[in-house]
Structure 1
Amino acid sequence: MPAPASSPSRDGLGPYLAHPHNSHVFASSTTELNPPPSPRTQRTIRKLQSAHNLGAAARFGNAPSLIAQQRLHNLQDRPPSPSRQPSNRSPQRHRANSDARPPQLSASIYGTPGPSSRRPGLKPTSTAANEMSLERLIRDGPPAGDVDGALESARLKVLDQGIKSDSDGMSSTRIYVWLILLDAPIVKTDDYIQLIHRGPSPAYSKIRNDTFRTLTTNPLFHRRVSEASLIRLLNAIAWMLHDAKDKSRPSSSRQSVGPSSAFQTSLDDISQIAVTSSPSASRGRSRALTATTDGSETNASEPGTYVQGMNVLAAPFLYAARSEVEAFVAFHRLLTKECPGYIRGAMDGVHRGLALVDKVLAIVDPKLSLYLTSKGLSAEIYAFPSVLTLCACTPPLPEVLRLWDFLFAYGPHLNVLCIVAQLIIMRNDLLGSPSPNKLLRPFPALQADPIKRTALAIIKMIPDDVYAEITTHAL
C-alpha cells in the first residue's frame, strides 16, 4: 500500500541523504484576509480580529490562482488550503497571537500522493524555490506555479534547516507549514462553533478525566493553553469522530445525542463553555458518562473514537496554532488521514507500531534488543505513550515541535524510527544499567536534531518490506 498523501516515503529523502548540505527548499501558501462576520460587541470584535483564510486563492489581476494551476497541472481536484481562523482561546493564555494582525499570505499548496516506499532516490525540486526562504515561500507561494517541485523543496528545507522559532518553540510560520504538509482542508469558524454548541459529546466524561493531567509538568504549555481550550477542542473532535462512526452504521442502529442547553450560549460566552457548573451542565455530563460506553466494541473497519492519550497528542497543536480552529483542523486531519489506526477499535495501529519498534531495534542493534528482551522489556511496556502521542509525551515541548516538523514533512509513520533512534542514543546507558526500565520510564529529554540524524541513518539499514510496514502501520 502506498504511503499517505502527505507522508512521502524514503524516495523523498533521497536528495537529503545524498547531499545533506545542498538541500534548499519549500512549498507554500497563500492567504488573503477575510473580514469576520459582524460581531455584536467590541469584545467579540477583538476576539475575532485575527479571522483570515489561509489558502483562499489569491488573485493577481486576471491570473489564475495557484490552486487552479495545481488542479490544471495534476488533472485532479484538490481541496483549498487550510484556514487561519479567529481564536477562541482563553484570555489567560500567555503570549497568545490571536489578537495580532496576521501577515498577508498568498494561496496555499498541498501535498501530492507520495511515491512508492522504496529506497531513497532523487526527486525533482524547484530551483527557484530552493533559492527562497521558507517564510518567503509561505508568503509568495511556489514560483512559476511549480507546486510539486516547490513542495518537495519545502520538505527538504524543513529537514535541513528546520522552521525558525524562538527558545520557547514559538514560530509565526510553523502552524501554516503543518497545515500545508498535512494537506488540511478549509474549516469555517462557524462550523467549529456549532460543534461546541452541541454540548457534551459521548466522550465528554473521558475528556474531562484526561485534560487536567495534560503536560502537567510543562509550564510553557500551561502559560499559553488553558484547560478550557483543550476541552473544547477535544469535545469538537469527539463529535466529529462520533458523527463519522454513526454514519458508518445501519440507520436502524444509529443513536442520536442531542445538544445540552448549558452549551447553547452566545459567542461571548464561548470561553466559559468548558467550565460551566450549572445544573443542566451537570446533567449533560451525567448523560455523557453513560453515553461514553456506547459502541465501545468496534471493528477495524469503523471510524475511530476518542481514546485516552489524545489530550497529549492535541497539546502541541494548540500550543503552535494561532487559534483553536487551526489546531482543530490540523489535529482532525492527523487523526483521520495519517493515523486513523491509532484511535480505531483496540488501537491496533499503536500495537503494530510497537511491534515495529521491537523489529527495527532487533535489525539495527541486535545486542541492545537482546539485552532489553532479557530484562523483560518490550516496546509494549516502555514505548506505548511515545507511539500514541508521536513522542509529545516526552519534554521539552519546543523539541517536540521541531521533531513534528520532520514527521509532518515526511510522514508521522517515521515516529517509529524516531523512538528506535532514542534507544540508540541512550544505548550505552541502557546496556550499563542493571535496571534499564528505570531509564525508560520516562524517556530522557527529547533532542530533535540527534533523533532526526539517527532516524535517517536507520532508514538506510532496514529492508524495504519492513519500511513498507512502517509506512502503513497507522492506517
Structure 2
Amino acid sequence: MPSPTRDSFPSLAPPMTTQLHPPPSPRTHRTLRKLQSAHNLGAAARITSQPQLSNLSSQLRLHDMHSRDVSPTRRQALNRSPQRHRANSDATPQHLLGASSSISLASKRTALSRTSAAADTMSLDRLIREGPPDGDLGGALESMRIKVLDQGIKSDSDGMSMSRIYAWLIFLNAPILPTDSYIRLVHRGASPAYSKIRNDTFRTLTTDPLFRRRVSEASLIRLLNAIAWQLHDTNEERRPSSSRQSLPASSGASPSRSDLSQGMASSPAAKNRARALTLTTEGSEANASEPGTYVQGMNVLAAPLLYAARSEAEAFAAFQQLVIKECPGYIRGAMDGVHRGLALVDKALAIVDPKLSLYLTSKGLTAEIYAFPSVLTLCACTPPLPEVLRLWDFLFAYGPHLNILCIVAQLVMMRNDLLGSTSPNKLLRSFPPLHADQIKRTALAIIKMIPDDLHDEIVNHSL
C-alpha cells in the first residue's frame, strides 16, 4: 500500500492552526449540554434525515498495526521474532516482572517497523499538531508509538492531557465526524436501548471522584444513546427491506415497539438461547457480520473516553470506532468476543505460569468467573482512572487485543498472594489498583513466551 500523503494526515489530527488549550473545568457549561437534558430524550425533536458519518480513505488505515491480518509486521511491532526460542513452560514467571525493563529504545526500534527520523526529533504534542514531517505518515505513526511506549503521554496527576484524546483518535483511525452528526443522533430522542442505558449509567465509576467531578451522567447517557442509535441504524440497513420495521425518531410515539422489545428479551425462549450462547466461547458464526447492540458494560467502556475528551463529539468518534471496528465481538450476540477473550486468558496463563494456572483451576477459578469485567471494559473497571488512561495509551497504540495479556500480567503480579491464599477467589473479586507501567512491562515480556497460534487468536478474538 502506498504511503498516504501529508495532506491526508489532518483528517486524523487537528489542523496546524489549531491551538490546544487545557481541558475545560468541571464547572464549564458546555454548549452541547444546553441542547437538551438526557432526562427529556423521549420528547426530543423528530429528525428525518439519517446522520452520515464520513469514512477515511483506505490509505489512512493505521499502518500494519491495526490491520486484522496476522502479519509479520504486527508481530514485529510487538518485539516478537518468528525465530525466537519458545519459553520453557517450567520457567518461573517471576523473571517477567523485570524482564522487559531493560529493553532499550534502540532494540525496540529494530523490532518495530520503520520510524521517521524527523518525527523522532519532534515532541508528541508537536507531531500531533503539525502532522508527519515530509508526508511520511507510516513512519510518523511508528514514532508516535515509540514515544507512547517509552515516555507515555504527558498528563497531570488527574490524568488530564491536552493531547491524549487526539493520540487516541489517531491510533484508532477514527473517521472525521462533524459535530452536527452527533447532535442529530442526540436529537432523535430515546433509542430502543434507552431503558437499559438509564439502568447502567448511574452506576458508572461511582467510587471515582475524578470521574464524577468531570463527567455528568447526562453526558454519558447522551453518548450511549447516540451509539445505540448508530448500531440500530446499521442493523436496520442490513436487514431485508421486507422485514424492516420503522421506528419513530421519538420514543414517546412508539410505546408498543418498546414493550414488544422488552417482552421478547424477557421471554423464556430468549433467556434460554442467551444462556446457551453464554456458556460457549466459540460464538455464533451466523452473527459474525452483525454490528451488535447496546450491552451492559458499555457505560464503563465509554467512561474514560468522556473523561479524556474535550467534547462529547470527540468521545463519540473514538467510542464508535472502538466498539464497531476494533471490538465488535464484544457487543454482538451474547458477547461472544468477550467469552473468547476469557478463554484466551486461561490459555495464556497456562503457558506463562502453569503452577498458578493449575492452582486457580483447582479452586474452580477460571477467567469466566473473575475476569469478565476486565476483558469487556479493557480494564477500565479497575481504579485508579489516571492509570486506566495510561494503560489505554498503550492498548490503543498497539491494539486493544493486548488487553488479554495485560490481564494475564496482573495475575502474574498477584502470583505470590494468590498462591499463598487458601481462598484466592476473595483476592480476585476485585483486582489490585492498576499500575500501568508495570503491567506494560510484564505484558511485553509475556508476549515473547506465547506461541504464534495463540498470538493470532488473541489478535482476532474481538472481531
Indicate the residue corresponding to 2:191 in structure 1: 201
Equivalent of 2:428, from 408, 416, 440?
440
- The question of 1:81 aligning with 2:17 is answered no
Indicate the residue corresponding to 2:7 in structure 1: 67
TM-score by length of structure 1 reads 0.73
Indicate the residue corresponding to 1:421 in structure 2: 409
Equivalent of 2:299, from 302, 306, 311?
311
Tell me, yes or no, if the aligned pair for 2:374 and 2:407 is still in contact at 8 Å.
Answer: yes
Tell me, yes or no, if the aligned pair for 2:158 and 2:210 is still in contact at 8 Å.
Answer: yes
Gaps of 5+ in 1: 6-63, 71-78, 85-91, 100-107, 262-279
Tell me, yes or no, if the aligned pair for 2:7 and 2:135 is still in contact at 8 Å.
Answer: no
TM-score by length of structure 2 reads 0.75
Indicate the residue corresponding to 1:94 in structure 2: 26
Tell me, yes or no, if the aligned pair for 2:172 and 2:321 is still in contact at 8 Å.
Answer: yes
Indicate the residue corresponding to 2:132 in structure 1: 142
Q: Which amino acid aligns with 1:245?
A: N
Tell me, yes or no, if the aligned pair for 1:158 and 1:405 is still in contact at 8 Å.
Answer: yes
Equivalent of 1:330, from 318, 336, 340?
318
CA offset at residue 327 of structure 1?
0.3
Which stretch of structure 1 is more off in the superposition, 123-132 or 405-414? Answer: 123-132
Distance 1:98 1:208 in 2: 22
Q: Which amino acid aligns with 1:386?
A: S
Indicate the residue corresponding to 1:227 in structure 2: 217
Question: CA 1:159–1:109 in 2, change beyond 3 Å: closer, same or farther?
Answer: farther
Question: CA 1:454–1:342 in 2, change beyond 3 Å: closer, same or farther?
Answer: same
Question: CA 1:248–1:330 in 2, change beyond 3 Å: closer, same or farther?
Answer: same
Equivalent of 2:393, from 393, 405, 427?
405
CA offset at residue 83 of structure 1?
7.3
Distance 2:254 2:241 in 1: 25
Indicate the residue corresponding to 2:381 in structure 1: 393
How does 1:232-381 map onto structure 2 within 5 Å?
Answer: 232-260=222-250, 280=252, 288=258, 290-291=260-261, 299-381=287-369
CA offset at residue 80 of structure 1?
3.0
Distance 1:285 1:436 in 2: 47
What is the DSSP-based 3-state SS (H/G/I as helix, E as strand, rest coil) of the residue aligned with 2:320? Answer: helix
RMSD across aligned C-alpha pairs, in angstroms? 2.6
Structure 1 residues 297-356: Cα deviation after superposition (integer angstroms, max 9, x where no partner): 883332100000000000000000000000001000000111100001111100000000
- The question of 1:113 aligning with 2:64 is answered yes
CA offset at residue 143 of structure 1?
1.1
CA offset at residue 113 of structure 1?
3.3
Q: Which amino acid aligns with 2:444?
A: L
Distance 2:130 2:123 in 1: 10
Tell me, yes or no, if the aligned pair for 1:204 and 1:288 is still in contact at 8 Å.
Answer: no
Number of equivalent positions = 369
Tell me, yes or no, if the aligned pair for 1:170 and 1:320 is still in contact at 8 Å.
Answer: yes
CA offset at residue 288 of structure 1?
3.7
Distance 2:195 2:264 in 1: 13
CA offset at residue 129 of structure 1?
0.9
CA offset at residue 93 of structure 1?
7.0
Flag the structure with more relative contact order, 1 or 2, with Cα contacts below 8 A and sequence separation at least 6: 2
Distance 2:424 2:307 in 1: 32
Which stretch of structure 1 is more off in the superposition, 159-168 or 191-200? Answer: 191-200
Indicate the residue corresponding to 1:55 in structure 2: none
Q: Which amino acid aligns with 1:66?
A: R
Indicate the residue corresponding to 2:95 in structure 1: none
What is the DSSP-based 3-state SS (H/G/I as helix, E as strand, rest coil) of the residue aligned with 2:375? Answer: helix
Distance 1:97 1:155 in 2: 34
Tell me, yes or no, if the aligned pair for 1:205 and 1:285 is still in contact at 8 Å.
Answer: no
CA offset at residue 111 of structure 1?
1.4
Gaps of 5+ in 2: 16-23, 32-58, 66-70, 82-110, 274-285
